Structure 1
Amino acid sequence: MYAISEQDNIQERDRMKTAYFRRYGCRWTELCRLPYFDPTTMGVIDPMHTFMLGLTRTLWFSVWVKGGPGGDRVMLRGRTETNERELDLIHALLRQFEMPRWFARLPADVGYPAGGNLTSNEWKALVLLYGPTAIPLVLADAAAECSEGLAPGQVPRVPHEAAANFLKMATALKILMRREVTEQDLVRAILLFKEWFEEFVQIYGSKCVTPTFHWLTHMAAQIRRYGPIHGFWTYLYKHLNKVMKTYRTKNHGGGELEVTFSREWKHKMMIARLSAALVKQDEDPMGKEVALEIQKQTRDQLRAGTLAEMVQQDGVGDESRAEQRRCVADGRSQTSSLDGSQLPGLLHWYRQHRPAWDLRRPDEYNTPEDSRFLDDHARFHQQFLLQGRRIDTCPQDKPNKSDSLVVMRMRPRLAWASELRSVFAHKQCGETRLFVEVTWLKPLEQELTIQGVYLPYPELEVEFWQYEKYLAPDADGPPAILLAQLLDGVAARCAVEVEGHLVWVTAGISLHISYRMTRL
């Protein structure tokens, strides 16, 4: 290492910096004076720019929409005067999506010049949710159409391998973007990425490769060194920049602009923290009502989401992570009687998990004198918080259930989706538990060919279901009444015609992956 003192002249400094670069392959920084600093190892590659603005944008826009450097192989074509093509099919699917309100929506004309440039949040939504759900279906249909009448030796515009190749990339990125990552996860993610890259070169050619592809190979080492990417990526600060652009600065200068930003940001954070704290408490009903109204009237969803995420991450270590895992009731509540469909399910749960209590139905007669009866009253809530996200209850006849879809991972190959009907706190024998009543979607009776493409990638949590069909309470499957803490996350859903059948396709959005192999 070169020691550069303050007495060295400018020419000598430049000469030594140049020699340093030629020897070590990196630029000089004052941090290099530290004996333990290794710029090659300790220089962090930002995951946000690598994943979203780099890898995803290259595949979607540069390769699929523009057709690569030469523009000779456009896979997602735009509409003509008479026909709608691949981009329009994707737009049709996007319009049908039911997803949580806090998740980013893509522009109506994404892929066209009128759609504009996507933000990092929208690129993230594309690779985690919309892409794995919609794009493989469109690519599979396009590949089947391109293979018809193909001359021997002719390369199809859309190869059959394109759909599965994209799912490999999406799976690798979703694993790397988890908040909790194991060594086994890292090994699988990097293996999937390497397989994806080899297939990418075979499908699209080496001319479509960018330096971003290589940077991702270092991501596993960074995660081992610094922890999950949420601790060192610039994703949240990208949102913060957009939030600060909305502040009124009144043309301040000379250092006043920074003070204005600081004061405005502190004011917004104080309101966000105060409302978040008031919503979770029950001692001050008026304060809770005011906080609920503040959150309800917030129109700027981007700003509210950024502030909420900043407040959620403004914690200390394990305490903050424990808060994200908590499942708590939220919103207005009232005490009501359990109806005829809820009583049997709740009684079944207690008999299965608390058999020593030997509970009886409230309307059961001819029982011993010392019998215990199930309390037929509970405290019902309109919402509950799961992993820091608010989920609403909804009746079955509600047209749009975007904020009421939840998912539970039953086993590695099945993420079972359902609609949330009710949330209630039930007290029995001095113990209070939070239960949910859900209506599970009904699996397909016959497996579709496209499902085989998704089978090797359970991390994407993409499943197919019968359209507008629900599992009967007494059918073989998960119970309709279960503990709220067993739910793994929220889900998104869209209706699509696949192989001549109208089906529901769901995609789970789980922060933490777990499997329910025990009794529910």
Structure 2
Amino acid sequence: FSMHVDFFNPNRITQRGAHDSIGVISCANLALDPSIRYQPEFIYATIIPGPHEPTYNELDHYVRRVIEQFVQTWRPGLHISRTADSATGAIVEAAVLISLNDLPAARKVAGLQGHMSSLICSVCDLHGKDRVFDTDCEHWTRRDVEELRKWAWAYRDAKTLAKRQHIFSSYGVRWSSFWLLEYWDPTRMLVIDAMHCILEGLVHYHCRHVLRLDALATKLSSDGLKVAFDWPWVPYSPETGPCYSLDEKHIPGVTKIQETLTLSLSGKKSLSLNGTAETLAYIQKVIQEMKCPAHIPSVPKNYGEAKAGSIKANEWQWLSTLYLPVALVILWGDNDGLPPPVDDPEAGYLLKALDHTMALFQAAMIACRQVMTTDRAEAYRRQMGHWTQNLRSLFPHVRGGSSRPNIHAGFHIYDFLLLFGPVMSWWCFPFE
């Protein structure tokens, strides 16, 4: 089975922000044919009532009721008295193969430290928010599952809250009902959903915050290098900061100061990377005028404006694989049929920005393929590496921004592609 936990706004408000929240725990039988696997009559679902998202301790009470059933269906299994092929019945075993969630929910249901903590990954031992941009995949070591299991049970059996807090802060794990499953391995079975991680995470971040393809985006330097202070800012953390510690309430202020220092100086070089409103208008023109096959869904024709509302995952998929590549190649990569001259500071930089953007878009395109091979998975990781390595050098304004754990999580999509095949067989689209 694939188990999914998610929360949604019952009032159907399209703008993001504080709102009411109702949760659902869904389980899909992966042994069923894909044509019927996600039909409502074959989905097990239980509701987590609102109006607010529960805390970790509250959520685990709901998860436990589901997990306890899978404990029984694995050992000893379910005895069916009679089947179509056997008059004497059969023993049926069922297990949770995948816990599929977005990044925050994955950490919450598995009892791991939050995605914004210094323990940035549930798969490998990478430690520290500054390691989000680490691309040395070959030297990442997988977390010790038996060690996690040991401290999870120790957390459950601890006699005092202080002892529990010590275990959680020191080892990054607390009790989760998933540990009732004897086969539970969060480094392989706690799957970060590709839909949330790549489409709603990285593609959204790149278009809106890196390229500033947004009507409300802060204006940046046209060549990306004319900044007030070209300095490799890293997000503040007690581990990498100075000898003194800041109060938690002051940390967002440091982030804003760092981002402000990387904005362009005033003057003729203070144009935004996206060419102000002209680039956005051209992208909207491409969306409006492009003739597409009927099976391709529409995307907001006023993309980039506040009235467009929140862009959905399937819209990001088609924006990043169809509409934006066409528009940006024409704008940044074409000079009367020839590539822009590299000695032109502005045009040369825009060509680099185009190559960098296409690396992420190609990674998204590969990940969403209906057939997955080892070569394609390797190509996905190469494109992710190219995008990550050049992100802060090409776009200084992102250096002081908040930590983006989705960047590191995106590399582990490679592991899940090898384990479980094409993302469409295990992503969250059918559940949502």
TM-score for both structures, normalised by structure 1: 0.39
Higher strand proportion (structure 1 or 2):
1
Name the TM-score, length of structure 2 as normaliser. Answer: 0.46
Q: Which has the larger radius of gyration?
A: 1
The structure with higher relative contact order (CA 8 Å, sep 6+) is 2
